[in-house]
Every structure is written in structure tokens, then in C-alpha cells.
Chains A and B, each alone.
Chain A
């Protein structure tokens, strides 16, 4: 008798999170994006379903990035100093699924932009692009706690995704997401126990688990990728096995990590043995993203339009029936 295939059925599925609201749903977006809902390990369609495909958000900064290599700046042309134009370009030209607005310039060491600057920019972006929005702080706790609630308030009804909440600083942001109907990013330092703990803390404040996205904190290819890869696999296996406090979609900040890597940035004259600089950078980001898709990533935050095009094609191939 031939050996039967080993098909795994799991008792639990990942929560479905909706980002963005159309006019019927109380917002002004032209579409809502759903992520999550899968009831098995990634891309094993003989035994499980993935009702919502992974999506890609493009990063837009409120100040011109200083540490981007020329190969990354070039496709953006002259919009890097104009966040609204930048966001529009991502929407129309690069076909981003979402915009991830990073309010880096509000950091006290990076320009210290005010609450009103941030709020104005968020309003401008909402008025000028129609895809769902992710709003990110500057990683300065105090400033984020001041600014993010204001941004949440002026985008009430838009069902944004706002982050990041961390174990030591989640209350203000959770309260704001709760009050204004947004989703939250819960960040943990490559540690599923902390990820779970933080989700419990956030849900205890009344925000339902289907409004949380887990940021497991990823590293780039060659720079600790394997730590996050295994943490995500472990988290997903626990979630599918029944742990509802880990059953949330993953967001991976691929672009910021990949473009810090020397292999993505260094010139070909510096390292001739590494080959062409532009292609090398593009692949560094695309391979990092594709690897995390295999660990269960649902939202990828990316930078280079060509890397995004490659990963989108990869997602299409993965989902091909």
C-alpha cells in the first residue's frame, strides 16, 4: 500500500485584521486591506488556506532621509523632500498596497518637528492618497506618546495601523487606537514570550486581538535574519496550535534593515568581488523580504521599487493555483 501524504490540520487560524476604511465604512480610503486568516503554515495549499495575500507598504518619511544610498534614492527622483508627493508617487507609480508614514523628523535629535507639523502632514497625506495608511512614530517614547494620539484623532474612522507599542510603553497608544478605531503594531524584541505578553496587556485594555499586528523585530539577510525567521516560525506554530494571543499577522520592517547592510550599500569599486551595486542592493532587500514571507510575514515594509516589484511577482507565484 502506498504511503499516505502527511497533511496537517490546525485547530486555530490567524486573526483577520482590516486596515483602511472606505466611505461606506466611515473612512475615505478607496479600499480596505485585509491581512491574516490563514489556517496553516505558509503556502501549503494542499492542507490549508490563505484567504488574504501578503501586502507591501512603502515607507514615506517626514524628513529627507540622510542615510539612503544613491541607488535607493534614484527611483524616487525629487520627491524625497516632499512627503505628500512621495506618498502619491508610491500610490500611483509604484502601486504600493499601503503607505507607511514614518514621523522620524519629530525625534528631538532629528529636527524635533512639532505635533502640529505631524498632524498637518497626516491630514495632507490622507487628503492626497487613497490607499490605507500606517503611521509610525520616531522611536522617542515621550514624543511618540505626545504625537501619535493626535495623529490617531485626526484620522478617526480611517482604520489606520499605528505603531509601535512596546512592553514598556503601550498604554497611551493602545488608548488612542481604542478611542479612534485604529489598529496597533505591537513590537517585541525577537521574543515570542514578550510578543504574547504584550498582546495580553493590550487586549486587557479592551483593544480586540483582531486589531493587533505583531512586529517581531527582524534583522536583514546576513545580519541576524535567522533569529527572527525562527521566532516567527515558532510563533506561528504556537498560534495555529491554539494560542490565540499569538494568532495575529506579522509585520516585518524589511527595508530599514536591508538598506543598513553593507552588502546593500557598498559601492562596486569598494567591493568588486561582490558584483554590481544596484542589483546587489535590490536583491538584498528582496531576498530578506522573501525569506520572511516563508516564515509567515503578512505585511512587508519596503523601500526600493524594484525590490517591491520582484517580491510582488514572488507573491503571485506563491499564490498561483
Chain B
């Protein structure tokens, strides 16, 4: 838990020596609380005070990085148990498990599909993050499969084996790409920790029992490794939910360091549908990484969509820039459609407009990210606002006709809007899905 300025002040020397550049220790403490300045600016702090403040300055759940470059995955550093309390910050890494027993041809074929598991939804790119390679064969075959997969995908890698020697042989050549290695347990942790330390790569610590898992992370820490991810092994769905909830609670509410790491879950269920449902539940219930075997687009699209939903900032709806968007080869005769700047409204209308193949202007009115009906009720989507937007976005210069099309849900404003804008108002369909047939009828 973050300390307040006063809590920090109590640990400072209280000499007001000004060496930190602030007039008093209290002023310095306030800046520290805001994380606007570093503690090492204070030359007089005791070692004890420093240790206490440094420990509390760490986030309760450590941020862990896997992979490299623009495909790197960062997880952890979460602050809340419920998204309405603030937001969830680092979206769950979604990964596909491949076995090393696959033939070269199978690997190539599967990666061709896996590398394409990214979609555009409401103006954002949503994508899977990881490929996990599971050892079922000998060390040489495992290393060869990892090498082949690593060369054929830009995604981060997870190496799954309980044999440290096999992991070492596979991980060493690709250590620069920061693969995640899985997993250290109470028996093999020394070897795994040494390996993670030598290659500077993150490590999963695994134990089915939370108390033993905490002991394990302490043991691994004392081997000099702190880039950890937690797994509580295979167990029934509700037990897993309990573990994930406890780990998040203990880290946030008790600042309990030994479990202050992100989590990983592996879906063992290989039912086409149930594995998707399980993955979604773990995303809702805090998992930092989820690995599954299914990689059909119809299985992955709902998983990534759910992640996008749940990691949206509840205080800040996704918005688009308010302006007049030309869709297709517009002319001065093209119809003008009005919607809000709430991403979901905008992109739903945009999708239908594009599907209709009718070139048109889509005017996104600044409703502060509210949807059509909400904005209308809150008086952010009014006749005045729409008239003003039409002029601001130079609709009179762009089209030679005098018509505008408004969403069916705000039909009641037609009269007032005609008066205010001096334009002929045509009431469009209520649902975006009705736009293509609406536009076709409009033209005929």
C-alpha cells in the first residue's frame, strides 16, 4: 500500500537541511508521496528509514516483462480487486500452447494461424501475446522446436518443462528475447533460479498450496531472483478462483511480498468451448497470463474481446476524435450521418457504413464519450451541439445538399434540430445494423 506524505515524513531525518532542494522535510515527503522525486535526494536518511520507505515504494504486485520489442508483454502492478475502484492496468497475456512433438510442418502451419490472431475492435488492435512450448520429447527435440518457433513468431515465448537442463538448452540461444520459463517447484528451484539469474529471464514459481508457494518465492528470492510469476497448479475451477483472489487480496491488502507477483494459469480442459469459458473466467479473476491449446479464431476472438472490455478504464470511456469522417469516395452529394464520439457507437456505425458501400460523411459529435441515448439524456447530444459541430467540421463546404441523418433513438429532436441547423433532418434506424438497407432505400 502506498504511504501518505505524513507517513513518509515520520521516516525522514526532520532536519530541514534543504539538501534535497525542498525547503522542509515535510515538503520533500509530500513530493515523495506523489512519486515526483526520488528518495536518494535525501543524504541524511538512516539505513533503516531508507529500507522501510523503499519497501513501501514498490508496487504491491511486481511488474514483470516477457518478450522484447513492440510485442513485449508487461503484467502485474495492479492496484485494485474490483475494476470500478480504479481500473485494471496491465491486460492479461493470452498464449497458445504447442507441444514440441509437432512436426516442422505442423509448427509452420499452426504458427501461420497463431501469428494472425489479432483483430481490430473499436479502433484498438487486440492480439494474443505468447506462444508456449511444452516439452514432451527429449532435450534436443525440445530445443529444436523452441528454436523453430522462436524464428517463426514475433510473439513472446513460454518454455514449459520440469527439466532445468532441457530448459537451459532451449532458452540460452533466445535469452535476449526474454522468454518466460515454467516452472520452479520446491524440488528443482535452485537449478531454475540459477538459470533465470544467469540468463536474466523471468521465472514461474509453482506450488498447489499458497503457503508453500510463498515459502518457495522467498527461497527463490534468496537465490537472487525476483522476476517471478505465480502458478498454483491444476485444480478445479472454483479452487483456482479462490487462489487467484487470495493472491490478489494478500498482495493489495496486506502488502504481502512473497505473493506480490502476477499469476499464470494453464487451461487443461481441452473441450472446444469449455477451455474458452475457463480462460475468460481467469481473465475476469485477475490472472496475469492464461495459456490454452485452442487457437481457432472463433475461440480466441471472444477471449480477447472480454479482456478488452474488462481492462477498459471505467472512468474514461473509449473515445474517437470528434470530426467529420469521409467514408469511401465521398462527393458533394454524399449523405451526412450523425453519431457520438463514444468508440462503441462510432465504430459500430462505421462498420455498417463501410459494409453498405455507400460513400458518406460520418460526423462524430463530441459527447464526451457518451453513447447516443446516454448523451441525449445528459444533454451532451443536443440540437445546438449537433448544429455547432456541422459548422465546425465545415459540412456546408463539403456537401451541396441540405440533409442530415440522425440516429433513430433521438428522433424526438428532429423538429428542434431542423430549426437550429436549418437543415432537413432524416431519422435513421435505431440500430446500426439497419444502416445498409436504410441507405439503399434512401438512394432509390
Contact = CB atoms under 8 A, between A and B. Distances in A.
Interface of A: 2-3, 5-6, 43-46, 221-227, 229-230, 233-234, 237, 260, 262-263, 273-276, 279-280, 282-284, 286-287, 290-291, 294, 306, 310-311, 313-314, 317-320
Given A44-B245, A290-B277, A233 B82 contact: yes
Contacts of B249: 6
Interface residues of B, number: 53
Q: Considering residues B277, B348, B433, which has the most beta carbons from chain A within 10 angstroms of its beta carbon?
A: B277
Q: What are the 5 tightest A-B residue pairs by CB atom distance, in nearest-first order?
A: A275-B297, A275-B298, A280-B298, A226-B309, A230-B84
A260 B431 contact: yes
Interface stretch (B59-67, B143-151, B160-168, B278-286): B278-286
B284 A221 contact: no
A314 B274 contact: yes
A5 B302 CA distance: 33
B323 interface: no
Interface string B317-353: 0000000000000000000000000001000100100
Interface stretch (B92-100, B253-261, B380-388, B400-408): B253-261
Interface in B236-268: 236-238, 241-242, 245-246, 249-250, 253-254, 256, 258-259
Given A5-B246, A226-B314, A262 B351 contact: yes
A130 to B, nearest CB: 29
Given A3-B258, A283-B273, A320-B236, A294 B281 contact: yes
A224 B256 CA distance: 34
A116 B227 CA distance: 70
A314 B215 CA distance: 33
Interface of B: 82-84, 116, 119, 121, 210-211, 214-215, 236-238, 241-242, 245-246, 249-250, 253-254, 256, 258-259, 272-274, 276-277, 280-281, 284-285, 296-299, 301-303, 305-306, 308-310, 312, 314, 344, 348, 351, 371, 431, 433
Contact of B83 (A223, A230, A286, A306): A230
A227 B119 CA distance: 22
B82 to A, nearest CB: 5
Nearest to A276: B298
Nearest to A282: B273
25 contacts: A2-B214, A3-B211, A3-B254, A5-B210, A45-B242, A222-B309, A224-B344, A225-B309, A229-B309, A233-B84, A237-B82, A262-B348, A262-B433, A274-B119, A275-B296, A275-B297, A279-B273, A279-B298, A283-B299, A283-B302, A284-B302, A286-B277, A318-B241, A320-B236, A320-B237
A194 B246 CA distance: 32
Contacts of A306: 273
A248 B431 CA distance: 32
A274 B298 contact: yes
A229 B237 contact: no
Contacts of A263: 301-302, 305
